Structure 1
Amino acid sequence: MRNIAIVGLGVVGGSFAKALRKHPVEGERILAIDPDEETLKKALEEGVIDEGETSNQRILQQADIVIIGLYPLALKEFIKVHRDDFKEGAILTDVAGVKGVLVEQLMEEIPEQVDFIYGHPMAGRENRGYAYADAEVFEGANYLLTPTEKNKKENLERLEKLITRIGFKRVTLVNPKKHDEMIAFTSQLCHVIAVSLINSDDPERGTVKFIGDSYRDLTRIAKINESLWSELFIENKVELLDAIEGFEKQFQTMKKAIQEEDSEQMESMFRESTKRRIQLEADDKKKR
């Protein structure tokens, strides 16, 4: 018998629960902790979880694997409060979108009897809450693990096996600094651009009559969880500001080319972007 506990049945934690249920293993039980009784009731009625509680201690003491689906600040507080409540030998992992500050601040808080392997599923939904959780969201997605020197090889392998079992196609091991640099560019900067684009519009001019796929695609992630993303931006502000500056340089180069009617410069930028996009698509088709 193996117990997997999920802390926080939001869109990510709920998707983990549903994906684990969709890809079952004999003798595995799915437990959940969430402050909302209605969420737990719904998950139980749907057969997604085997047991759920609003309090933490009893379930944590049973869990062999604990997936903590909390925002970074809440995650830090959770570990500090419950450091003595985990089962000896348990594997802990998170889903937070920043790692450097998190790893540094939690270094002294992680109890010796557990193995905390920092993780980041590169998948989710713009909406929040269990109602939007979906087992399919992980299919074909990337997963990042940021192991530390304290992590045991066998536990890393167990966690990787669980991750690929529920649909992720690629698991990448990366140090916290590299993680935050890359996520600032591939995720956080994209949200900055989407928010800035849609907020630059005049809402009175009837934009909806003129939009096509370009605008829909670019602004999809502008429907954003304001509490979560504010935390992520601030926790990773150095790397994110660097990414914004790099983008601004490219933006200014394009702006200058338009102002000066420099079609040669624009065409060069278009050719380069096309080449890079084609290469990105080819690389993404590879399993690893």
Structure 2
Amino acid sequence: MGIKKITVIGAGLIGGSLIKAFLSTGEFDVTCVDNDEDNLKLALNDGAKVISIENIKEAVFDCDLIFVCTPVMDMLNIIKDVISGVKKGCIISDAGSTKGWIMKNLAPYIKEDVYFIGGHPMAGSEKSGYINASANMFKGASYILIPRMGVPEGKVKALEEVISKTGALTVIQDEFTHDKWTASLSHLPYIVSICLSSSIDRGGYEDDILKMSAGSLRDMTRVSDSSLNMWRDICATNKEQIMANLSKFREELDCFTQILEQGELKDIENYIVKAKDFRQRLARIKGY
């Protein structure tokens, strides 16, 4: 395979889970870079080498593969800072939820003998930090790869082989396709969740009223508690696709509002049945 030394920059939920997954195989020499002492201590206890962010260049000069697992808008400066110090043939990947922005802005800084392959593991939770990381985070999950034009097929295959060790299933896409469908399947659900949370919060309900809420509110607002920095950057770097999806969602709200105004029970029932059918289809596909 050729890849033995891996450096993970950013030991939060995703970066920490990659570290744990790679360490669990016993096949890799893993270095963790972070600015949080608690994250570094936990990674050290798991068997990783640890280096503070101030000494980041020490962690990358001889590694075969680098994963940058920070909020999207931090990635550019990190990669620009380290790229001159990595060895020839090194692969750099990321774990960001948007791809067009980083692929475009990083292009002028990539050297001919260093290979950037964008990555996005379709896994995670509303929790954050290494303390919530899991070696099993990626098992059965799709892991999207977006190679830059000109990256040799052998480098892509090498990265796919490493990622397969986490239990994830790799899918090759381009950045435009990726950002379009993640806006629908990942980003829109988050926006709906935070808007629902904000709407109910504006209602001014006292704690004793909120205490009576049932599981549906818990489930619908769960992802509102996700990483602030991560989602701030996702919204900023994929705003066109997100706004297009919000427009479509607004049309659905208007449609159901009209159905309610007309008050026809059959129309209400048909709309609900259609939604139930989709949920059941999704459950079959995903194995919920």
- Is TM more than 0.5 here? yes
> What is the aligned partner in structure 2 of residue 126 from structure 1?
126
Q: Aligned partners of 2:151, 2:279: CA distance in 1, in Å?
A: 36
RMSD, aligned CA:
1.8
Which residue matches 1:236?
238
1:66-77 equivalences under 5 Å are 66-77=66-77
Relative to structure 1, is the Cα distance of residues 43 and 185 closer, same or farther in structure 2, using a 3 angstrom cutoff?
Answer: same
Q: Counterpart of 2:252?
A: 250
How do 1:141-152 and structure 2 match up within 5 A? Answer: 141-152=141-152
Equivalent position of 2:176 in the other structure? 177
CA shift, 1:151, in A, is 1.7
**TM-score by structure 2 length?**
0.91
Is 1:12 aligned with 2:11?
A: no
1:53 CA drift (Å): 4.2
Contact 1:64 1:90 in 2 (8 A): yes
| 8 Å contact from structure 1 (residues 33, 53) kept in 2 | yes
Which range is displaced more, 88-97 or 193-202?
193-202
Q: Map 1:149-228; keep pairs closer than 5 Å.
A: 149-168=149-168, 170-201=169-200, 202-204=204-206, 206-228=208-230
Question: Contact 1:117/1:147 (CA < 8 Å) preserved in 2?
Answer: yes
Question: Is 2:17–2:137's contact at 8 Å kept on the other side of the alignment?
Answer: yes
Q: What's the secondary structure of 1:52's corresponding residue?
A: strand
Distance between the aligned counterparts of 1:146 and 1:74, measured in 2? Answer: 19
Q: 1:205 to 1:10 in 2, by over 3 A?
A: closer
Tell me the equivalent position of 2:135. 135
Write the deviation string for residues 73-125 of structure 1: whole angstroms up to 9, x where unpaired.
21001122222111110111000111112111111111212111000011123
Q: Which moved more, 1:57-66 or 1:234-243?
A: 57-66
Q: Distance in 2 between matches of 1:134 and 1:127?
A: 11
Distance verdict in 2 for CA 1:29–1:280, change over 3 Å: same
Q: Deviations over 1:228-250 (max 9, x none)?
A: 21111011110000000111111
**Separation in structure 1 between the aligned mates of residue 191 and residue 171 of structure 2, nearest angstrom:** 25
Relative to structure 1, the CA distance from residue 113 to residue 243 in structure 2 (aligned partners, 3 Å threshold; closer, same or farther) is same
- Secondary structure of 2:195 counterpart: helix
Report the CA distance between 1:197 and its aligned residue.
0.9
Identity of aligned residues (%): 26
Unaligned runs of 5+ in 1: none
Residues matched between the structures, number: 281
Cα distance between partner residues in 2 of 1:37 and 1:217:
32
Matches of 2:284 and 2:164, distance apart in 1:
21
Q: Aligned letter for 1:52?
A: I
SS of the residue aligned with 2:243? Answer: helix
Bigger shift: residues 221-230 or 176-185: 221-230
Opposite residue 91 of structure 1, the aligned amino acid is I
**1:185 match: secondary structure:** helix
Q: Determine helix, strand or coil for the equivalent of 1:116.
A: strand
Counterpart residue number, 1:34: 34
Quick check: 1:19–1:134 contact (8 Å CA) kept in 2? Answer: yes
C-alpha distance in 2 between matches for 1:243 and 1:174: 20
Partner AA of 1:98 in structure 2: T
Amino acid at match of 1:177: F
Counterpart in the other structure of 1:278? 280
Mapped partners of 1:184, 1:42: distance in 2:
33
Cα pair 2:43 2:50 within 8 Å, conserved = no
**C-alpha distance in 2 between matches for 1:284 and 1:42:** 32
Contact 1:125-1:132 within 8 A present in 2 as well: no
Contact 2:32 2:43 in 1 (8 A): no
- Partners of 1:37 and 1:200 lie apart in 2 by 37
For residues 140 and 156 of structure 1, the distance between their equivalents in structure 2, rounded to whole angstroms, comes to 20
- In 2, Cα distance between equivalents of 1:207 and 1:238: 38
Deviates further, 111-120 or 154-163? 154-163
SS in 2 for 1:123: coil
Q: Secondary structure at the match of 1:210?
A: coil
TM-score (norm 1): 0.91
Distance in 2 (alpha carbons) for counterparts of 1:208 and 1:20: 42
Residue 17 of structure 1 aligns with an amino acid whose one-letter code is I
SS of residue in 1 equivalent to 2:113:
coil
The Cα shift of 1:253 comes to 0.7
